Homo-oligomer: A and B are copies of this chain.
Amino acid sequence: MAEKTKEITEEETAPKSGLQALRSERTRAALLAAAEKIFARDGFEASRIEDIAAEAGRSRGAFYANFLNKTDVFLELRARAMQKRAREIRMRLSRASDEAARTAAVNLHIIEQICDTQSLLLQIEFKLFALRHPEMLAELAEKHLEASTRVHEQELSEYFSHLSDVEPMRRKTLAIEALLEGFALNALFSPQILDRQYLETLMPGLLGEVLPTP
């Protein structure tokens, strides 16, 4: 999927004004933003291409000029969400001066994620989608994990001497995702019971069980 990326405008053809490319980029961005909104509101399955296009102020045709299908945008959005997450933690770690600051940065990163419930909900739907499409499962899981742990593998390890192996890293990452997803889902499902305060009380201990505290 998503092989149909914009062909980079070769210089040997007409000047092409650059304005078209801009217009194109805007449309794509508008569609992605709209898709994110609609997916968050209606869920992946129930979302309609028409609604996404309308939300972006474009036509269904514009959608299909930019994406292969609903799955394609969904996966692209997921990938972008992961990239954004990676960028954030990377920036935070680079600003932290000592190991204590770095640990705090990681904790903050996790805490903030649990607040972004919409995104976690979509992540749950993404994983359900993968489970319901066994032929894609392995590839999607690998891509997801790769994106999800890249930051850890490449950068965490240089900050935290006791975090070195990749496999344990992936395990920890997935375990934390499990925690975040499970609590996000249930916090939305029953906000009065699983309230913010209780979560704040509970999470540190749970995270401590997963993350090594040297």
Residues of A within 8 A of B (CB): 42-43, 45-46, 121, 124-125, 127-128, 130-132, 137, 141, 144-145, 167, 170-171, 174-175, 177-183, 185-190, 193-194, 198, 202, 205-206, 209-210
Contacts and interface: CB of A to CB of B under 8 A. Distances in A.
Contact of A202 (B144, B175, B186): B175
A36 to B, nearest CB: 16
Contacts of A209: 202, 205-206, 209
A124 B121 contact: no
B132 A43 contact: yes
Contacts of A190: 141, 145, 170, 174
Main SS of the interface on chain A? helix
A19 to B, nearest CB: 15
A42 B132 contact: yes
Query: Which residue among A43, A177, A178, A198 has the maximum number of chain B CB atoms within 10 Å of its CB?
Result: A178
B171 A198 contact: yes
A6 to B, nearest CB: 15
A141 B137 CA distance: 31
A121 B131 contact: yes
A207 to B, nearest CB: 10
Contacts of A124: 124, 128, 185
A71 to B, nearest CB: 13
Contact of A183 (B125, B182, B193): B182
A206 B203 CA distance: 10
B189 A170 contact: no
Contacts of A174: 186, 189-190, 193-194
A124 B188 CA distance: 12
25 contacts: A45-B45, A45-B46, A46-B132, A121-B128, A121-B131, A127-B185, A127-B186, A130-B189, A131-B188, A131-B189, A145-B190, A170-B193, A171-B194, A174-B189, A174-B190, A174-B194, A177-B182, A177-B186, A178-B186, A180-B182, A181-B185, A181-B186, A182-B183, A206-B206, A209-B209
